[in-house]
């Protein structure tokens, strides 16, 4: 569907993929120790020197995350040692990180040298069959990893329910997106880097929400796609160098607060159908066609930004 003769809207469904954008140098958000589960037991994994016959200690680590997850209980943190974790090293995807379990690499470097690559079939209650690297459950914590799913329509992390924490990771090179949030999930997604994913950095659908803050989201088709009845809070992120910064449609009601939305190739924000985002104190600069493109029939209320200085299309107030 065209808008104003110049904007092609991507509806954030699992079966559609907008084009990716050119590779540029990445930059990191300011590191901060992410909240993890209440740590009662640590299991160690080393894809090179480990063995699943070992007890999973620091001196005798497991070889696979898959085996460690089978031993984990609430309060367990699985500490990954440097290396690349794939089906070739014995992983079985998707990795199901259950409630109260932490999966940790190196948060201070956003997962440099600790990479999980691959995906497997996940049957989503709200979107049917998907190809996913990690499924994050209630109160799980995933931090300090580099994550990529190069499979067709591949997603790195899928969140369907609960409020897991996804912090200080790098999402790069997945065929579709870094994180897909659906159902009633309300994750906390903070201080990650999303770049060069084939479709989107993040997607929020169905009745999902949660808090997404202090992330760098760049070089995707869409930085963030929000649809259905989703109501996430998107706060203090750097959303730049995407085809479009944010595409907001359906009956969604997201809150956008203090984001830097810059240098996106087409539009900073696109709003369609019945969506009604709350926009407060966001910064816009050097977006290609528009900073804000409202294609709905209702005026869009923009607070804390000088509309006179912005490139806008559609009704504003």
Whether 34 contacts 111, CB under 8 Å? no
Domains parsed from the chain with CATH numbers: 91-313 (2.160.20.10)
Sign for the pseudo-dihedral over CA of 88, 90, 94, 99: negative
Q: Number of C-alpha atoms within 13 angstroms, CB side, residue 300?
A: 31
What was the pLDDT predicted at 40? 86
Nearest to 251 by CA among 204, 293, 303, 301: 204
Please tell me the distance from the alpha carbon of residue 59 to that of residue 51, in angstroms, as a whole number. Answer: 11
Please tell me the distance from the alpha carbon of residue 171 to that of residue 146, in angstroms, as a whole number. Answer: 6
Whether 117 contacts 91, CB under 8 Å? no
For residue range 223-266, list pLDDT tens digits in order.
Answer: 999 999 999 999 999 999 999 999 999 999 999 999 999 999 99
Residues of the chain with pLDDT under 70: 1-39
The CA-to-CA distance between both ends of the chain, in Å, stands at: 25
What was the pLDDT predicted at 145? 98
| Cα–Cα distance list, 154 to 61, 86, 177, 253, 315 (Å) | 29, 14, 7, 27, 37
For 276-297, give one letter per residue: b (16+ CB within 10 A) or e.
ebbbbebebeebebbbbbbbbe
Please tell me the distance from the alpha carbon of residue 298 to that of residue 203, in angstroms, as a whole number. Answer: 24
Residues in the chain: 317
Partners of 292 in beta bridges: 269, 312
> Cα angle vertex 177, ends 98, 271, to 5°?
115
């Amino acid at each position: 569907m065209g808008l104003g003769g110049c904007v092609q809207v991507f509806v954030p469904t699992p079966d559609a993929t907008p084009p990716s954008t050119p590779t540029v140098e990445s930059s990191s958000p300011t590191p901060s120790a992410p909240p993890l589960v209440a740590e009662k037991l640590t299991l160690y994994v080393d894809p090179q020197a480990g063995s699943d016959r070992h007890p999973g200690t620091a001196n005798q680590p497991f070889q696979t995350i898959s085996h460690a997850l089978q031993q984990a209980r609430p309060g367990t943190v699985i500490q990954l040692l440097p290396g690349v974790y794939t089906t070739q090293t014995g992983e079985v995807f998707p990795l199901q990180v259950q409630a109260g379990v932490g999966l940790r690499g190196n948060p201070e470097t956003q997962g440099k040298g600790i990479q999980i690559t691959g995906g497997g079939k996940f049957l989503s209650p709200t979107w049917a069959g998907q190809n996913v690297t990690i499924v994050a459950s209630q109160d799980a914590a995933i931090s300090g990893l580099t994550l990529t799913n190069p499979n067709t329509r591949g997603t790195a992390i899928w969140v369907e329910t609960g409020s897991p924490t996804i912090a200080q990771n790098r999402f790069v090179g997945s065929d579709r997106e870094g994180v897909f949030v659906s159902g009633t999930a309300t994750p906390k997604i903070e201080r990650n880097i999303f770049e060069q994913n084939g479709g989107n950095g993040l997607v929020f659908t169905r009745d999902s929400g949660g808090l997404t803050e202090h992330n760098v989201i760049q070089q995707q088709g869409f930085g963030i796609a929000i649809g259905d009845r989703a109501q996430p809070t998107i706060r203090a992120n750097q959303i730049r160098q995407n085809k479009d910064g944010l595409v907001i449609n359906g009956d969604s009601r997201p809150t956008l607060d203090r984001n830097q939305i810059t240098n996106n190739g087409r539009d900073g924000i696109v709003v369609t159908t019945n969506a009604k985002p709350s926009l407060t104190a966001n910064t816009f600069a050097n977006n290609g066609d528009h900073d804000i493109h409202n294609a709905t029939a209702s005026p869009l209320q923009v607070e804390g930004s000088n509309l006179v200085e912005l490139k806008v299309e559609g009704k504003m107030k």
